[in-house]
C-alpha cells in the first residue's frame, strides 16, 4: 500500500513540476488557467478509478489536484479542478457503484478543496506559494474534513462509518499532506526560494505575523490536545463501566435462564459466554462441546467474581466469571474491540472536529491579526519611511483602533516638533549663510570705476548656485602700469568650495603681488594648495597680467575655460590656449605661458563653466555658441551691459530649471595705452 500510495503522490508532484516548467516564463492567461484546471481535474478523476486497494477499501489522493492547482498556480484553476473531480466522483458513486458509500463525502471534499485553495491563496498567502509546512497542513486538514463528512453523513451507521474512517484516514491524510509539501519544496528549489527550515531565524528578521502564528499554533495545539486527552480518558472509563455493567447483567440473566432450562439463555449479541465444567468442557455457549484452552481456563479461575482483561477463545476480551454450582462456572466476555469501538469512533470524530475547529480559528485569528495589527503597522512604517526620507509633510493616519490612533497622533506631533526645530535651525543657518555670502562678496572687487585711470573699462559678476559658491574673480594692480586679472572655479559647491575659494584667491594674489610671471604664480599656488588638501578639491584658474603701456598681456591657463577676445574691428572669438592641469590636483604642475597683444578698442571676456553648461528643463546646455552670439550682439555695448545681457540670456534659456553651477564673468575693454 505504501509503495502504491507513494507512486500516486509522486505522479502529482511530477505533474506540478511539469506545469511549472510550462508556465515559468509566461503569463498564466485565462486559457492556460483552464488547461491547468482540466489537467488537475483529470488527475483527480484518474485517482478515483485507479485508487489503491487496502483492507477491502479503496484509498486515493484525489484532493491534491484542486489544492495544487489553486495554491501553486491559479485559484480559478483550483476551482475548475475541484469541480471536475468532485462532480465526476459523485456521478461514479451514484450511477456506477464506485465506492458509493462515501460518494457524498468524497465529492464534497474535492469540490470544496478548490474553493479553500482560492481563499487561502488570496487572503492568507497574498498570491504567494505556500511554504512546505503550510502545504502539508492544508492537504492534511482537507482529508480530515473528508473523513469527518463520512461520519456526518452516516450517523445511522456509525460502525461502518468508523470502519471506513479507521482504514482510510491515516494513509489519505499523510500522503495528501506529503504530496503538497513535496510539491512546495520542489517549486522552491526550482525558483531558488528554498530556505533551510531548521535554521534559526534571528528575532529581528522574524515578522510579528510569523512569530504570532507560531505561538498561536503551539498554544492552540496544546489546548486542543489536552482537551482531547481528557475526553479520551473519560470515554475510556465510561466504556469500561458500561462493559462491566453489561457483563454482570448478562451473567445474572444467563444464570437465571440456565436454571430454568431455557433454550435461549438471553445473552446480548455483543456478549460471548460459556458454561464450563471442571474438565474445561463447554456445556452451553460458544464452541459448545469443545474444551477451553487450559491457560485461558486457569486465568479465568484466578479472577472469579471480578471483571478483568484476558483472552477468551483467542479473543482479547474483558471477562466476568463465577461459579453457578460446585462443578461449573459461567463465563461472559466482551471483546476489547466491541467494548471500545464507540470510544474509538468518538475519538476519531472529536479529533477531526477539533482539528477543523483549530484550523478555522487559526486561519481566522491569523487573518484578523494581519488585517488589524500587521497591515496597520505596515501602513505606519510606510509613512515613517516617507518621513525619514525627508517628506515632513507626510501625515500618519491609521485610526483603526485607539492604540493606532494614539500612535499616529504621537508620530505626527513628533514630526511637528521636529519641523519646528528644523525651521529654527534653517533660520540660523540662513542667517549664517547670508553672513557668509556677505563676507565672500566683500572679498571680491566691487569697485569697477577708476576715476584716475582712463586706459580701460572693467566689469565683473558672480552669481553662486547656492548661498555661497566656489567661483571667484579678481583684478588688481601690481604696479602703476601692470594689472592682474584672475578668474577661477573651485570643484564642488557650498561652504567647502567657498572656503577653498578664499584660500585659492588669497594664494594667487599673494604670489602675484610678490612678482613673477603668470605660470610661476600658478605653479607656486598649486604647491601651496596641494599641501594639506585632504578634501582632494581642485580649482581651475586663468590668469593674465596686462602691461597697460604696451598692451601686452602675459597669460596662463590651469584647466579653465577658453577666454574670448574681440579685436577692435572684429567679432568675439575664443582663444584656444594650451591648458595645464587644475591647481591642487597633483604636485609638480607645469603651467604653459602664452601672450596676447591688445590694441586700443579690444575687449576680453573670461568666464566659468557655469555659463556654457547652464541646463534647461529639456536637459540641453546653453553652450559656447549662444554665449558668443550674445557677446557679438553687444559688441558696442559697455562691459557692464554685455555681462548683464549674457546673464539674462542664460536665465531665459534655463527657464524653471535649477541653477546647478556658479555663474561668474569678467569683462575688460582696453581703451588706450598708459602714457
Model pLDDT for residues 65-118, shown as the tens digit of each residue: 999 999 999 999 999 999 999 999 999 989 988 888 999 999 999 999 999 999
Burial of 145 (0-12, 13-18, 19+ CB in 10 A): buried
| Distances from the Cα of 534 to the Cα of 471, 529, 539, angstroms | 20, 10, 14
Task: Give the global pTM.
Answer: 0.62
Q: What is the pLDDT of residues 294-307, one digit of tens each?
A: 999 999 999 999 99
Residue 442, CB half-sphere, CA atoms under 13 Å: how many? 6
Q: What is the DSSP letter of 204?
A: G
pLDDT of residue 465: 77
Number of Cβ within a 10 Å radius of residue 297 = 18
* Rounded-to-integer distance, Cα 85 and Cα 410, Å: 55
Number of Cβ within a 10 Å radius of residue 253 = 18
Q: What's the grid cell of residue 497?
A: 568650495
**Are the C-beta atoms of 662 and 469 separated by less than 8 Å?**
yes
Buried/exposed 100-124: b ≥16 CB within 10 Å, e otherwise: ebbbbbbbbbbbbbbbbbbebbeeb
Buried/exposed 482-515: b ≥16 CB within 10 Å, e otherwise: bbbbbbbbbbbbbbebbbbbbbbbebbbebbeee
Angle at CA 592, nearest 5°, toward 588 and 594? 160
Orientation angle between helical segments 103-119 and 64-72, nearest 10 degrees: 10
From 535, 544, 458, 453, select the one nearest 494 (Cα to Cα): 535
* Rounded-to-integer distance, Cα 484 and Cα 48, Å: 101
* Rounded-to-integer distance, Cα 539 and Cα 507, Å: 12
Instruction: State the residue for C-alpha cell 471506513.
Output: 164
- Ranges in the chain, pLDDT < 70: 197-206, 433, 467
pLDDT of residue 201: 64
pLDDT of residue 520: 95
Amino acid at each position: 500500500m505504501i509503495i502504491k500510495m507513494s507512486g500516486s503522490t509522486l505522479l502529482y508532484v511530477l505533474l506540478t513540476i511539469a506545469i511549472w516548467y510550462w508556465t515559468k516564463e509566461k503569463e498564466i492567461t485565462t486559457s492556460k488557467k483552464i488547461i491547468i484546471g482540466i489537467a488537475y481535474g483529470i488527475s483527480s478523476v484518474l485517482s478515483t478509478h485507479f485508487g489503491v486497494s487496502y483492507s477491502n477499501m479503496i484509498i486515493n489522493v484525489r484532493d491534491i489536484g484542486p489544492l495544487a492547482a489553486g495554491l501553486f498556480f491559479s485559484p480559478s484553476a483550483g476551482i475548475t479542478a475541484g469541480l471536475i473531480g468532485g462532480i465526476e466522483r459523485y456521478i461514479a458513486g451514484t450511477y456506477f457503484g464506485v465506492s458509493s458509500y462515501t460518494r457524498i463525502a468524497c465529492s464534497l471534499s474535492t469540490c470544496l478543496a478548490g474553493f479553500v485553495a482560492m481563499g487561502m491563496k488570496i487572503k492568507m498567502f497574498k498570491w504567494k506559494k505556500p511554504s512546505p509546512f503550510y502545504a502539508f497542513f492544508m492537504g492534511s486538514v482537507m482529508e480530515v474534513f473528508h473523513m469527518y463528512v463520512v461520519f456526518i453523513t452516516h450517523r445511522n451507521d456509525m460502525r461502518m462509518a468508523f470502519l471506513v474512517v479507521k482504514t482510510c484516514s491515516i494513509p489519505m491524510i499523510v500522503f495528501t499532506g506529503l504530496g503538497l509539501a513535496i510539491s512546495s519544496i520542489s517549486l522552491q528549489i526550482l525558483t531558488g526560494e528554498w530556505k533551510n527550515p531548521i535554521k534559526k531565524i534571528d528575532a529581528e528578521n522574524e515578522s510579528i505575523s510569523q512569530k504570532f502564528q507560531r505561538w498561536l499554533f503551539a498554544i492552540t495545539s496544546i489546548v486542543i490536545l489536552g482537551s482531547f486527552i481528557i475526553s479520551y480518558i473519560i470515554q475510556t472509563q465510561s466504556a469500561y463501566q458500561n462493559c462491566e455493567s453489561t457483563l454482570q447483567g448478562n451473567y445474572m440473566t444467563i444464570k437465571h435462564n440456565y436454571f430454568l432450562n431455557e433454550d435461549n439463555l438471553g445473552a446480548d449479541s455483543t456478549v460471548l459466554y460459556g458454561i464450563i465444567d471442571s474438565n474445561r468442557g463447554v456445556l452451553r455457549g460458544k464452541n459448545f462441546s469443545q474444551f477451553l484452552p487450559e491457560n485461558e481456563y486457569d486465568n479465568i479461575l484466578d479472577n472469579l467474581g471480578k471483571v478483568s482483561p484476558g483472552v477468551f477463545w483467542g479473543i482479547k476480551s474483558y471477562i466476568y466469571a463465577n461459579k453457578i454450582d460446585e462443578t461449573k462456572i459461567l463465563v461472559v466476555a466482551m471483546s476489547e474491540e466491541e467494548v471500545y469501538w464507540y470510544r474509538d469512533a468518538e475519538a476519531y470524530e472529536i479529533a477531526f472536529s477539533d482539528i477543523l475547529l483549530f484550523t478555522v480559528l487559526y486561519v481566522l485569528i491569523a487573518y484578523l491579526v494581519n488585517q488589524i495589527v500587521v497591515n496597520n503597522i505596515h501602513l505606519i512604517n510606510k509613512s515613517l519611511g516617507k518621513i525619514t526620507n525627508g517628506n515632513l509633510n507626510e501625515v500618519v493616519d491609521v485610526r483603526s483602533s485607539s492604540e493606532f490612533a494614539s500612535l499616529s497622533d504621537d508620530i505626527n506631533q513628533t514630526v511637528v516638533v521636529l519641523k519646528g526645530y528644523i525651521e529654527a535651525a534653517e533660520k540660523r543657518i540662513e542667517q549664517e549663510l547670508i553672513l557668509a555670502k556677505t563676507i565672500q562678496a566683500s572679498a571680491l572687487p566691487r569697485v569697477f570705476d577708476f576715476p584716475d585711470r582712463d586706459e580701460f573699462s572693467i566689469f565683473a559678476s558672480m552669481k553662486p548656485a547656492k548661498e555661497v559658491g566656489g567661483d571667484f574673480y579678481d583684478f588688481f594692480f601690481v604696479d602703476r602700469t601692470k594689472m592682474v586679472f584672475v578668474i577661477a572655479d573651485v570643484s564642488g559647491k557650498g561652504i567647502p568650495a567657498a572656503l577653498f575659494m578664499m584660500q585659492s584667491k588669497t594664494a594667487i594674489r599673494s604670489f602675484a603681488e610678490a612678482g613673477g610671471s603668470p605660470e610661476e604664480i600658478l605653479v607656486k599656488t598649486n604647491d601651496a594648495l596641494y599641501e594639506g588638501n585632504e578634501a582632494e578639491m581642485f580649482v581651475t584658474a586663468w590668469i593674465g597680467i596686462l602691461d597697460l603701456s604696451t598692451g601686452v598681456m602675459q597669460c596662463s591657463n590651469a584647466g579653465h575655460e577658453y577666454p574670448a577676445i574681440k579685436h577692435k574691428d572684429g567679432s568675439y572669438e575664443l582663444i584656444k590656449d594650451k591648458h595645464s592641469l587644475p591647481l591642487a590636483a597633483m604636485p609638480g604642475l607645469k603651467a604653459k605661458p602664452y601672450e596676447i597683444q591688445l590694441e586700443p578698442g579690444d575687449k576680453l571676456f573670461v568666464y566659468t563653466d557655469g555659463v556654457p553648461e547652464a541646463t534647461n528643463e529639456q536637459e540641453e546646455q546653453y553652450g559656447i555658441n549662444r554665449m558668443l552670439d550674445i557677446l557679438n550682439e553687444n559688441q558696442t555695448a559697455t562691459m557692464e551691459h554685455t555681462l548683464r545681457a549674457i546673464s539674462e540670456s542664460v536665465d531665459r534659456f534655463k527657464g524653471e530649471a535649477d541653477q546647478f553651477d556658479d555663474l561668474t564673468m569678467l569683462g575688460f575693454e582696453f581703451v588706450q595705452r598708459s602714457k
